Amino acid sequence: MFPRIATFCSTAFVVVALALTGAAKADELDGIVRVKSAYPMAETIARLKQDIAAKGIMFFSETDQSALAAKAGVTLLPSTLLVFGNPPLGTLFLSSNPASGLDWPVRLLVHQDAQGAVWTVYTDFAWIAQRHHIGDRAAEFAMASKVVASITSSVQAR
């Protein structure tokens, strides 16, 4: 019972910290953070990748999901998945619970909606901590939350 309490406290800490900084907040039902971009799709992706590189974060891959869909004969609005991370930080979560590797490295989806708005979307780190019952990494989850909020703020519409 105590590990769940610790996880809840850690989760609450990160959510409160983000609320105080004015960062985007996760949807309570699915843990998804949605940040509207001020830029078109290609420029959003370029700016995000530039910010990731400037922070010295390892970039792993870029997957154009709409191109894959087109090859399968499916029409999909523009959608690209960016995968990146900082192994010294991210692997700490895996050492707490190896199943958290399902959520690491970081995945950031950039997609365009039917109205033409571009969005950056990712899973809230407090949600990931709760999902994997990780209660011993509050400071690390808070750091990861700050970093991804900083990255998405580089394109955020004001």
Sorted by where each begins, the domain ranges of the chain are: 2-153
Look up the pTM and report it.
0.82
Collect all residues with Cβ–Cβ distance below 8 Å to 128 and sequence separation of at least 6. 31, 93, 100, 103, 134, 141
Share of the chain above pLDDT 90, in %: 77
What confidence tens digit (pLDDT) does each residue in 60-71 have?
A: 999 999 999 999
Tell me: pLDDT of 51 over 50: yes
Which has the minimum average pLDDT: 14-18, 51-55, 114-118?
14-18
Give the CATH fold of the 2-153 domain.
TATA-Binding Protein (3.30.310)
Tell me: pLDDT of 54 over 80: yes
